[in-house]
Copies of this chain bind each other. A is one copy, B any other.
Amino acid sequence: MSKCRPCVITLLTDFGYQDAYVGIIKGVITGINPVVKIIDICHNVSPQNILNGAYLLYTSYKYFPAGTIHVAIVDPGVGSKRDIVCVKTRNYLFVVPNNGILSFVVKEEKPEYIIRITNNKYFLPSISNTFHGRDIFAPVAAYLSLEIKLRQLGKKINQLELLDILAVKAKNNEQLEGNIIYVDRFGNLITNITKQHIKSLEINYKYLKILIGKKKIVGMSKNYADVNKGKPLALFGSTGFLEISISHGNAQKYFKVNTSSRIYVR
């Protein structure tokens, strides 16, 4: 792993921007490593929604320099027996609860090494039952940025928990059944259907039919401005997935759908 200098720690959480939780985490990190760069990926993961966090981490982790330490905390099991793990891949370190939040990432970056974090030498002196972000994740990430050895954190384990990610179903090479996995601020609907899936249909992009609820889009677009204002369109979004949008508008409101709503392509 080539190292970034100065080292970067990213934060992805469901702590929101209403409270001081994220600021506190940055205080703890800065107290241990005053020169590390801390970059927010996002703190508005839908509360306790691991799928949402897994998707956002997947879309962003690879745009950071090799050696970046990614801390992702969507942790409904905080204080219970769930593990906190450090996962080393070819290019990155991840400090996460072992609850499936790496489900998308590990499809691209194979875990080379998984440590169950137990060594309280690298925790805050007093551990609360409700805020491990401050008491465990933050100091562990900060010490990792000071290049302690992974094996000092705890014992190696072999298996990561993974989410049952809703798979795309293909029917006789004629139809795909997928799901909306994310809705962004603009109301764009991101699905779990990739370019590969659609190629398998062997249908010209111009004639593809995309069905959402009782509505239909015919043909793929290249960008948001390809159709008239207020009209729906389908395109491959910036993350590589099939995405449904309204030109200058909000597709979630237009189609009245939500995360995990079905979508068909034929």
Give chain A's interface residues, CB within 8 Å of chain B.
Answer: 4-6, 8, 10, 12, 15-24, 26-28, 30-31, 34-35, 37-44, 47-48, 56-57, 59-60, 63-65, 68, 76-80, 128-131, 134-135, 184-186, 222-225, 235, 237-238, 243, 248
**A11: nearest chain-B partner, CB-CB:** B23
Chain A to chain B contacts (Cβ below 8 Å), 16 pairs: A8-B34, A10-B27, A12-B23, A19-B56, A20-B56, A28-B63, A31-B64, A34-B65, A47-B185, A63-B134, A78-B223, A79-B222, A80-B223, A80-B224, A130-B243, A134-B238
Given contacts A78-B224, A130-B237, contact A34 B20 (CB under 8 A): no
Task: Kindly state the separation between the CA atoms of A76 and B23 in the bound complex, as whole angstroms.
Answer: 23
Contact (Cβ within 8 A) A27 B134: no
Instruction: Choose among A59, A129, A135 the residue with the greatest number of B CB atoms under 10 Å from its CB.
Output: A129
Task: Kindly state the separation between the CA atoms of A68 and B26 in the bound complex, as whole angstroms.
Answer: 12
Contact (Cβ within 8 A) B27 A64: yes
Contact (Cβ within 8 A) B130 A48: no
Contact (Cβ within 8 A) B27 A184: no
Contact (Cβ within 8 A) A31 B128: no
Contact (Cβ within 8 A) A184 B19: yes
Q: Report the minimal beta-carbon distance from A67 to chain B, rounded to whole angstroms.
A: 10
Q: How many copies does the complex hold?
A: 3
Contact (Cβ within 8 A) B129 A223: yes
Which B residues touch A128, using CB under 8 A?
237-238
Which B residues touch A20, using CB under 8 A?
12, 41-42, 56-57, 59-60
Given contacts A23-B10, A59-B20, contact A48 B248 (CB under 8 A): yes
Which B residues touch A41, using CB under 8 A?
20, 23-24, 27
Given contacts A17-B44, A39-B30, A79-B223, contact A60 B24 (CB under 8 A): yes
Task: Kindly state the separation between the CA atoms of A77 and B130 in the bound complex, as whole angstroms.
Answer: 36
Contact (Cβ within 8 A) A27 B60: yes
